[in-house]
Structure 1
Amino acid sequence: MILTSTRLILRHFQEGDEQALFDLLSDKEVNTFLPMFPLQNLDEAKHYLKEHYLDKYQKNLGYYYAICLKENNLPIGYIQMSESASHDFGYALRKEYWHQGIMSEAATIFMEMLKQEGVSFITATHDVFNINSGKVMQKIGMTYQYSYTERWMPKDKDVTFRMYQSNFKKPQDWVYLEYWNKYPHFVEEL
């Protein structure tokens, strides 16, 4: 399925997107809050493309999309909902496209598609130091639920995350509690 908005095309990644994926995931600033180390070369990008996108498409797992500008249909970021029980919603964007409303635009059409597909809820987490990611979650209508501290691998460091949630088919007050039950947790006044 291809999704479109005023400025964007959301589509599956495909062979040939290795350079665009490398440009995104090799950037140390973009990578600061991602759960992986920066890619080092195009071979790593090819492997990442196959393992994290192409293989998942073949197995029909989750929802994983490239964010592309309509003008050239080249990936400038990604947006996804994992196949895990948490329905984890995540995204990243090349830094030259930050602060232009692109991620909020992509997330709005992505969430509408998830609702139409019958997804009952999504969660999303952000490092407490990644304020801009939290602003995207708020802008698209997600609700803060709680914070928790986790030993984040493979970066092997303690990170405090804020967990946001949107319920589509669940009662509005229903909260996904896996992180609450698994890690030290607390509720912040935001």
Structure 2
Amino acid sequence: MGFPILETERLRLIEIKEKHTEDIFAIFSNEAVIKYYGMSAFTEYQQAKSLIESFGKNFKEKRSMRWGIILKETGSFVGTVGLNNLIITGRRTEIGYDLLPEYWRKGIISEAVNTVIQYCFKELDLFRIGAVTFPQNESSNKLLLKLGFEKEGLLRGYLYQNGHSNDALVFSLIKPDWDKNRLL
């Protein structure tokens, strides 16, 4: 199976390749972007290159998928959205996303995540999509609720970042709820 390219009215979700190293570095070296990411900011281009290599390897092994978010109007690479802990036989995954700050609050992540959710339920035939966030990440938490996810609970000391273990919230969206909400 080739990497699926997804499109919306404003966005193209593409496979991330080595030619996107500078874009990935710009995203993952940005302190505002990774503030609630569970990792430290990149300081070297090699880190971006290694991350891109892992995206490709994990896709080939069917363990995850990560799309680059491209604005159709400008061709700008503005963020990523993807599936982590993808278990096709278990019909579940976790979704994650990031976006450069200058594009926040424009509906881009909502549009990208909605498209990936549809792909998960219609094309991959998954049953559950999870999401793990920092409790302080109010924007992401509100977005997930708006998209139909339910908050399931608190994972104590789940995310390690900047020398500290941090609590995390866990959210989920299951296919029957997604189907029901689409009909409303």
Would you call these one fold, judging by a TM-score over 0.5? yes
Query: What corresponds to 1:165 in structure 2?
Result: 172
Residues 84-123 of structure 1 mapped to structure 2, 5 A cutoff: 84=86, 87-116=93-122, 117-123=124-130
Supply the distance in 1 between the matched residues of 2:143 and 2:71 (Cα, whole angstroms): 19
Identity of aligned residues (%): 21
TM-score normalized with structure 2 length: 0.84
2:26 corresponds to 1:19: no
Query: What corresponds to 1:175 in structure 2?
Result: none
Query: What corresponds to 1:146 in structure 2?
Result: 153
Superposition deviation, residue 129 in structure 1: 0.7
Superposition deviation, residue 92 in structure 1: 0.7
Query: What corresponds to 2:85 in structure 1?
Result: 83
Supply the distance in 2 between the matched residues of 1:46 and 1:32 (Cα, whole angstroms): 21
Contact 2:159 2:167 in 1 (8 A): no
Supply the distance in 2 between the matched residues of 1:90 and 1:6 (Cα, whole angstroms): 21
Contact 1:17 1:74 in 2 (8 A): no
Across the aligned residues of Structure 1 and Structure 2, the Cα RMSD in angstroms comes to 2.0
Equivalent pairs counted in the alignment come to 170
Contact 1:78 1:93 in 2 (8 A): yes
Supply the distance in 2 between the matched residues of 1:107 and 1:124 (Cα, whole angstroms): 11
Supply the distance in 1 between the matched residues of 2:64 and 2:48 (Cα, whole angstroms): 20
Deviations along 1:88-113, whole A, 9 cap, x unmatched? 21111111111111110111111000
The runs of 5 or more residues in structure 1 that have no matched partner are 173-190
